[in-house]
Structure 1
Amino acid sequence: MTENFTALYAEHQKLGASFTDFGGWQMPLKYSSELAEHHAVRKSAGLFDLSHMGEVWVTGPDAAAFLDYALVGKISAMPVGKAKYSLICNEDGGIIDDLITYRRPAGADGTDTFLVVPNAGNAKVVAAALAERAGSGKEGGFDVAVEDASATTSLIAVQGPKAEEILLRLVPAARHDLVTGLKYYAAVEVPFLVGGSSKDLLLARTGYTGEDGFEIFVANDDAAPLWASVAEAGAEFGIVPCGLASRDSLRLEAGMPLYGNELSLERSPFDAGLGPVVALKSKEGDFVGRSALEAAKEAGSERKLVGLKGLGRRAGRGHYPVLKDGVVVGEVTSGQPSPTLGYPIAMAYVDIEFTEPGTALDIDLRGKAEPFEVVALPFYKRQK
């Protein structure tokens, strides 16, 4: 597999990060203590490099209608400035990726503009699928342009209860309202002080940690200066750089799925508890995977994704069997001790008859049955 390096790789080296391959990218796993990084995000703030994520611009007169066809959500109903979580599925209803789409102001010629952000390992696949679907779906194809800007775009996240205060240090006082007034799952252009000069950057109030936080899209050349500016502004608040290890434990506590673990081509959105994301009723016309998804909803799921709370001290891990009275009834997709809650947690696909909260199950921990209980997701929800 080809190794890719983000524009911030040298910064991570200076900070002493240990690296791991993720979706073909060399990414920081942790800098010192993954537990300390996890707790920093819950209590103050963490700084993440998400530049391995993809950025695909979809523009043109048919952009909204095209994304309605290409994705399972009703993207055309989204107001300018908002973001929407959605899925891109294949014709069989399998999940190619989960992604966030941002609706941006129309271009100078009045045409619609959207930014689609897929996951790291799927970015090229999603960009290719969108380009292919632009030529289908209606006679003559859609009047859209699909531009994969992933190679020239970096993404930096600031997550945690102090995130807003930190970013305000980098924004002129007269424009603070752009940050403080930004709603969850919305985005706006904000002037940031980066490396001694002002840069208009796209700021989104989104994240993957269960905390309040922001994600900032920035050109590769400006990524390192922005990283340094955020780190300096956040120093008095206790901001720390965070790697993939803490990001994984944070998203698991928040009950957020990870592609390749909870989501895959073999699972339908209904299995994963993402049925509300699929606009079968609100969206007229065909979209890729519609017939298969209608059939999957009608048939019901044999297994569904649930949360499992450990009643002991040992944690289940991905692919460990889930048992009921010694019989395998499911499989763990993600699991580890919860740093915030103090007990083991896991997500797992479990036979439908054992998915009610309160159901007692076991996880087979290498030959020993460890007790767990089905609980509602998320495991952790921040106090607002």
Structure 2
Amino acid sequence: MTRMPTEIAPMTPRVSSPAEPALYARNPTRQRYRVAPGAILTLQLGAGDQLQVIDTEGCQPAELMALDSDGNPALAALALESDPQGTFIAQQRHYPVDFPDAARLWSDSTPAGHSRSLICHQPVTVLLAAPGGKTSVHQQQRASELCVWHTPAQPADPSTRLPVPLAEVIDEFTLHPGTARAYVVKAGDYIQVADVAGRQCSDFVAFSHQALAQGQCVELDPTVTRTLSSLAYPGPGLFSKFYDQQMQPMLEVVQDTVGRHDTFALACTARYYESQGYFGHDNCSDNISRALQPYGVAARPGWPAINFFFNTSIDAHQQLQVDEPWSRPGDYVLLRALQDLVCVSTACPDDIDPANGWQPTDIHIRTYSAKEHFSHAMTTRITADAEPVLTRQSGFYPMLSQMTQQFTDYRGWWLPTQFNQAGRTQEYLACREKVAVMDLSALRKFEVIGPDAEALLDYCLTRDIRKLAIGQVVYSALCYPHGGMLDDGTLLRLGQDNFRWIGGEDYAGIWLREQAERLGMKVWIKSASDQIHNLAVQGPLSRELLKQLIWTPANQPSLESLSWFRFTQGRLDDYNGCPLMVSRTGYTGELGYEIWCHPDDAAQLWQRLWELGEPMGLTPLGLDALDTLRIEAGLIFAGYEFCDQTDPFTAGIGFCVPLKSKQGDFIGREALLERRDHPQQKLVGLLLQGNEPAHHGDPVYQGRAQVGVITSATHSPLLGRCIALCRIDVRYATPGLSLEIGKLDGQQKRILADVCAPIFYDPEKTRVRA
């Protein structure tokens, strides 16, 4: 019997609709702004505009002042009335005493996420503040940010919405896709290359103006730059220079809000488009050649260029990959000219691949005078759509910068790597033998307060928080439901309903807030990283030093009697000194403490610490030496020993997951039970034979098969040999077992190593407990 063919139903066209939260600013109907704690935001509103103000973290007042075109009060335009308590803006802007008060949008006890919407009835200038001032380190009611959404009645084209100038502008111009422009920049002046709408490539070339005047062509050279900086792309900081063919610095990177650019290939060429079948397509190389004609520079079919915002990379198979740029709307790179330059910038016309997100848009160029001052900075964002925050300086930075110029951007803060007068080994030895001090202000701090604070933390952390006493500190992990770690850190209990979480991850605050909202808990999570800075004072003489400058009241433990993982509240020197908190904690494996203060008090604390500590051999400690100290002590580090795919057992901190004794449920419990009972990997130590070091990411082999990976490695001055922490298959975690660390391709060269416990120094913790 003949079968009739089965009829095939027509398929619905498949549509690409990825989630792209970073491009929210392309929305022409809404714009979002952040009001930093204690700061004021200025906005221009038109008739019919809508304004929504959100208390992101809760318990944060909002103050609003409106002015008409003549500078007169105009709160009525928003149907608001002045409030006698609304004096923050007037005081900060130094308005006359009789100037009308601003409006308070809500009380001081609002829940997180509380908002208020307003409609503007006439054009006004709005000043919106998140009032707040200096809060003692002992207190927890800190100022927090506000989120503002502006919905204009007449939406503007987002592709023309230029970022706010960084300072007074010398010159500026917009480059439309498929165009280029040459311009002269004097030595010391600044160049800002801004991506207006996001995900748009801009090629950049530069020439010595003096050399061109003499008929010579001395240009920026990508190969020299990569070689001298040892980086694929220079960033703000110590290695921030672009060089010419004669190895002379031409440009310095001052600020970069993207941090991911190209591999310094050619600007797009006519030949590239022709090879794809697009003849006569606009291209950046020809545009650069035309822009340089007035300067007598010969045309080239392809120009080596800095491809700002262009996302290229080389994969594991040595293939050059191209994808959509990382840049968001308004992102920029700020450069400083180190000699007189002729520059050319382009707005790339590439619309046949992801180079410009398939949709070429504008690039905006601004130049600023050498008299301006811009701090070196990159940006961090807590979430993909968060407002960028430039690299911050702690309250101790002014003193540290006098002792070293070697700083690195550590998770959005400038921290020193090593110091001029000591260096890594001497800093290490000072901590092991005497006393050392380190700036750890980059740690994230969150106040968790309210009647449900204990219940929330017990549910979110792996430790049994109900057992935590007031004045006690506990180390814990923060896990996702699948058991992977979000963060690790310490929790301080300041009161019955008052806690302070200290970790390394900004997102931890959002995570805690989300869980509290989901559970309907009455609890507030307030960010405190900018208002609490801290020093670690570590080493055998740390107690002897600190007892001379920490005064404690009778109802608090004295410095001498402070037990391990406890904290005390006190003041500097005496009853009238600035408020401090001191915890007996650290990250070195030595007897040590951490001192917590308000950044305004940092200079005073630093001065007194050095006055008393220098005769005792006090030495500053950088991140390089700290890395050696913590590896010797077997202390884990985010991004090395753990990530969101690593559970606490695999990371070597299973002791902070009391699955048997903790009665309450917590996030990740079921997954952690399974991972504990069926472990796949384990953290071990490796003692290397010989003097060749291992590095993070090196594969570890048993025969031809890879069985593990190096998470951290260093040379131990104490042991006189190279050591490493290694995440390895549990079948090969036996102490004394010989393994091999792979170099090159893992097969051509091997370093012999023996498995040992992942704590190389003082495994019984006798030093920290002393």
What range is the shorter-chain TM-score in? over 0.9
Contact 2:586–2:594, Cα closer than 8 Å, also in 1: yes
For the pair 1:101 / 2:479, whether they are aligned, the reply is: no
Picking from 559, 565, 570, the partner of 1:185 is 565
Superposed CA offset, 1:245-269 (max 9, x none)? 1111100000000011001111111
Task: Check the 8 A contact 1:47/1:231 in 2, yes or no.
Answer: no
Partners in 1 of 2:404 and 2:478 — Cα distance? 37
Say whether residues 1:286 and 2:671 are aligned partners.
no
- Offset at residue 200 of structure 1 (A): 2.9
Q: Give how far 1:377 is off.
A: 2.7
Farther off after superposition, 281-290 or 226-235:
281-290
Q: Distance in 2 between matches of 1:275 and 1:172?
A: 37
How far 1:16 moved relative to its partner? 2.1
Q: Which structure has the larger Rg over C-alpha atoms?
A: 2
**Match of residue 694 from structure 2:** 316
TM-score by length of 2: 0.47
Matching of residue 132 in structure 1 with residue 510 in structure 2: no
Identity over the aligned pairs, expressed in percent? 35
Higher mean displacement: 374-383 or 328-337: 374-383
Alignment of 1:55-66 (within 5 A): 55-66=445-456
TM-score by length of 1: 0.92
Structure 2 residue aligned with 1:370, among 751, 756, 762?
A: 751
Kept in 1: contact 2:552–2:569 (CA 8 A): no
Distance in 2 (alpha carbons) for counterparts of 1:276 and 1:159: 24
Q: One-letter code of the match for 2:758?
A: L
Structure 1 moving runs of 4+ over 4 Å: 172-177
Instruction: Specify which of 86, 108, 115 is matched with residue 500 of structure 2.
Output: 115
Query: Which residue matches 1:333?
Result: 711
Residue identity matched to 2:511: A
Aligned pairs for 1:216-231 within 5 A: 216-231=595-610
What's the counterpart of residue 366 of structure 2?
A: none
Deviations, residues 265-290 of structure 1 (Å, cap 9, x unaligned): 11111212222211322223432122
Contact 1:188 1:204 in 2 (8 A): yes
Name the aligned partner's letter for residue 374 of structure 1.
Answer: V
* Equivalent position SS for 1:72: coil
Q: Would the alpha carbon gap of residues 63 and 172 (structure 1) be closer, same or farther in structure 2, given more than 3 Å must change?
A: closer
Moved more, 170-179 or 14-23: 170-179
Equivalent residue of 1:331, what SS?
Answer: strand
Rounded to whole Å, the distance in 2 between the matches of 1:290 and 1:81 is 27
Indicate yes or no: 2:761 matched with 1:380.
Answer: yes
For residue 152 of structure 1, give the secondary structure of its aligned residue in structure 2. Answer: coil
Q: Relative to 1, partners in 2 of residues 1:15 and 1:60: Cα closer, same or farther, differing over 3 Å?
A: same
What letter is aligned with 1:235?
E
Secondary structure of 2:713's counterpart equals strand
Q: 1:4, 1:174 → 2: CA distance?
A: 34
C-alpha distance in structure 2 between counterparts of 1:173 and 1:187, whole Å: 11
- Matching residue within 349, 366, 369 for 2:727: 349
Quick one: distance in 2 between partners of 1:168 and 1:162?
Answer: 10
SS, match of residue 518 in structure 2: coil
Aligned equivalent of 1:252: 631
Correspondent of 1:143 among 513, 522, 541: 522
CA RMSD, aligned part only?
A: 1.8
The alpha carbon displacement at 1:303 in A equals 1.4
CA distance in 1, matches of 2:448, 2:547: 30
5+ residue gaps, structure 1: 107-111
Q: Distance in 2 between matches of 1:172 and 1:274?
A: 35
For the residues of structure 1 that align with 2:548 and 2:738, how far apart are their CA atoms? 49
Where does the alignment leave 5 or more consecutive residues of structure 2 unmatched?
1-377, 380-390
- What is the alpha-carbon distance in structure 2 between the residues aligned to residue 189 and residue 174 of structure 1? 8
**Distance in 1 between the 2:728 and 2:758 partners?**
14
Question: Partner letter of residue 34 of structure 1?
Answer: R
Q: Distance in 1 between matches of 2:613 and 2:621?
A: 13
Residue deviations 1:119-147 (CA, integer Å, cap 9, x gap): 1xx1x20111111111123xxx1221111
Paired residue for 1:297? Answer: 676
- Say which SS state the counterpart of residue 246 (structure 1) adopts: helix
**Distance in structure 2 (CA, Å) of the matches to 1:51 and 1:11:** 14
Match of 1:109 in 2: none
Give the superposition deviation at 1:8: 1.7
* 8 A contact 1:17–1:29 mirrored in 2: no
* Distance of 2:502 and 2:551 partners within structure 1: 28
2:613 counterpart of 1:234: yes
Q: Which residue in the other structure is 1:89 paired with?
A: 479
Residue aligned with 2:415, SS: strand
Question: Cα distance, 1:174 vs. partner?
Answer: 8.5
Using the TM superposition, give the Cα deviation of residue 4 of structure 1 relative to its aligned residue in structure 2, in angstroms.
2.1
Task: Indicate the residue corresponding to 1:39 in structure 2.
Answer: 429
